[in-house]
Structure 1
Amino acid sequence: MKSHLLFPLLLTTLGCSAKEPQREIIPPAQYEAQDAEVEKMRERLLRENPERFEARTLEHQGRTVRYRWFAPEKADKPLPLVIVLHGSSGKGSDNRSQLLAGTGALGAGVWATPERQKDHACFVMAPQCPPGEMWTLTASWTSPVHPLSPKPAPALTDLMALLDDRLKTGEIDPKRVYLVGASMGGYGTFDWLVRQPERFAAGIPICGGMPEGQAEKLKEVPLWIFHGEDDSIVPVEESRRAFSQISAAGGPVRYSEFKDGGHQISVHAWIDPKVAAWLFSQRR
């Protein structure tokens, strides 16, 4: 598949000041026109992901951390790392569902395609949340507030150890570690960024929510937040509130809302080359 199939969607300007809050509304006519191409890419990655990503595990404090790993063929210097946190449909112990279920095929797979790697060579890590757990200790996604739990969820503690382990190899550029995720993964992205903002060059939380009162901790982390206006799973107010609070704190945040969009809008963000260009331009 040629690179033009990773098509531009979002009409934004990458040259704006990193500290200037940016908000945009994406009309249905703009993103729905790409639905057929999105589906083609999804079907392609359902076939390619299991072979492209190596299945690995890490033992940590008596727990088995399952993850998929993609490494570029040629990595003669430290390269960026993209960590992809899946939604609830990817949970399990098969070390496979995070690449296939829900929006996971695109969420993880798009970063490792030859056309994306041509422009943005990077490692990709797709961990799997164990069954019955979440990336965060959020009690309810529809709750009006989400206080930060005193300790991270066990699944997130595992990921912190996993990142430590991968950084020890020296193959990853520690100044270009990126964290992205949708739905449960969007919550996990916010939670991890709040707890360890110094570890990440940028983040993309989609259809998620930020722990309440934590915006100050994100004022130095470039973020691009996405949400669908009519999301019936995670209220759009979650992302609107995060954008408002981070903007008020002076953080480098941008927000894109899909007019009339539902919970599955992450696929449109993942395949957009402008989103990738923005992400990989960020450094600590």
Structure 2
Amino acid sequence: MAFIFAVSVSVNSNAQRYVENNRIIDTLEILKSKKLLNDLNTDNFKRKVHTGIKSAIPYRLLSPKEVIPGKKYPLVITFHNSSRIGNDNQNQLKPLARIWIRDEIYRNFNCFVIAPQFNKRSSDYVKGDDDILKSLPSNDVHEILKLIDETEKNYPVDRRRIFLIGYSMGASTAQNLFSLRPEKFAALISIAGVADFSNIEKLKRKKIWLIHGKQDIDNPYMVSEELYRKLAGNKKLIFSSYKNLDHNNIMVPFLLTEDIPKWLFEADK
């Protein structure tokens, strides 16, 4: 992850790590990155539907490029932002889920990937007594836990390597799941999310990567900053702070690199 630590790093060997990045991204780079991903063929993401008691959740399932009998593989669950809400079982793949079908990623990081699509908000935001926004999970988030259990039963999933990742609302949902069942998941990547503060003590021993732009006016940067503060002492926590990036371009540094899969694949419960 040389790129991530290339700009300026503040590290305390006895605590979490804060990484500040001064990168500037222009519109052309945003369009180029997203086009490269959006042009990828998504046929390997198979269409599925999880049917719960009160709702059905469409999702896509990507299997490893090569499945060796007797071997188990990591499971990644990737969550979309609110602009991808719907039930077409297609829009949730743009753009974050698509990093897993880039040739070099699909070839080098064998894993299962679940990309669910929610037909309404998967996480809602409320202000706490301290006037800080926090995220609360919808009922469908609890259904995702059942979907994960179902996938574990039907596919050779390594239960010690189940990872959560999301952007915006999806990052909040990933945090909700991580807080609900911290013992189930090996690592979390939250990109521009609203934090879940409900299980802080358990999260102090978990592998977490927070990514947020200081120019974000949609999901305030200060919420990730507050979560970072509350998780003081977690040596497995990284907070990547982008001084010049906002809500709409914060994903761009990671779309065409190996940073996300490489960091996740280093994790194990």
Bigger strand fraction: 2
Does residue 186 (structure 1) correspond to residue 171 (structure 2)? The answer is yes
- Per-residue deviation, 1:38: 5.4
1:253 to 237, 242, 246: 237
Distance of 1:219 and 1:121 partners within structure 2: 28
Distance of 2:13 and 2:208 partners within structure 1: 10
The match for 1:3 is none
- Per-residue deviation, 1:210: 1.8
Compared CA separation, residues 226 and 111, structure 1 to 2 (3 A): same
Q: Which amino acid aligns with 1:259?
A: K
The match for 1:4 is none
1:137-216 aligned at under 5 Å gives the runs: 137-139=124-126, 144-146=131-133, 152-212=137-197, 214-216=199-201
Bigger helix fraction: 1
CA RMSD between the two structures = 2.6
The match for 1:56 is 48
Does residue 21 (structure 1) correspond to residue 16 (structure 2)? The answer is yes
The match for 1:90 is 84
Distance of 2:267 and 2:247 partners within structure 1: 27
1:10 aligns to what SS in structure 2?
Answer: coil
Distance of 2:188 and 2:53 partners within structure 1: 27
Compared CA separation, residues 144 and 189, structure 1 to 2 (3 A): farther
1:51 aligns to what SS in structure 2?
Answer: coil
Deviations 1:23-66, CA, capped at 9 Å, x for gaps: 0111124xx38x75654342132232532311110111042110
Distance of 1:241 and 1:156 partners within structure 2: 23
Q: Which amino acid aligns with 1:24?
A: V
Compared CA separation, residues 70 and 140, structure 1 to 2 (3 A): farther
1:108 aligns to what SS in structure 2?
Answer: helix
Distance of 1:79 and 1:17 partners within structure 2: 33
Compared CA separation, residues 239 and 51, structure 1 to 2 (3 A): same
- Per-residue deviation, 1:139: 3.6
Compared CA separation, residues 235 and 137, structure 1 to 2 (3 A): closer
Distance of 2:55 and 2:151 partners within structure 1: 17
CA contact (8 A) 1:58 1:64 kept: yes
Compared CA separation, residues 215 and 38, structure 1 to 2 (3 A): same
Distance of 1:243 and 1:168 partners within structure 2: 35
Q: Which amino acid aligns with 1:69?
A: L
Distance of 1:78 and 1:63 partners within structure 2: 30
Mean Cα displacement is larger for which, 115-124 or 47-56? 47-56
- Per-residue deviation, 1:189: 1.2
Deviations 1:180-200, CA, capped at 9 Å, x for gaps: 001001111111101100111
- Per-residue deviation, 1:145: 2.9
Q: Which amino acid aligns with 2:56?
A: T
**Where in structure 2 are there 5+ consecutive unaligned residues?**
none
CA contact (8 A) 1:180 1:186 kept: yes
Q: TM-score, normalised by structure 2?
A: 0.87
The match for 1:112 is 101
- Per-residue deviation, 1:81: 1.1
1:224 to 209, 216, 220: 209
The match for 1:136 is 123
Distance of 2:60 and 2:109 partners within structure 1: 19
Mean Cα displacement is larger for which, 239-248 or 224-233? 239-248
2:122 aligns to what SS in structure 1?
Answer: coil
1:185 aligns to what SS in structure 2?
Answer: helix
The match for 1:43 is 35
Compared CA separation, residues 217 and 210, structure 1 to 2 (3 A): farther
**Where in structure 1 are there 5+ consecutive unaligned residues?**
1-6
- Per-residue deviation, 1:19: 6.8
Q: Which amino acid aligns with 1:271?
A: L
CA contact (8 A) 1:181 1:189 kept: yes
Q: Which amino acid aligns with 2:97?
A: A
Distance of 1:148 and 1:11 partners within structure 2: 29
Does residue 80 (structure 1) correspond to residue 74 (structure 2)? The answer is yes
1:168 aligns to what SS in structure 2?
Answer: helix
Compared CA separation, residues 138 and 240, structure 1 to 2 (3 A): same
The match for 1:122 is 111
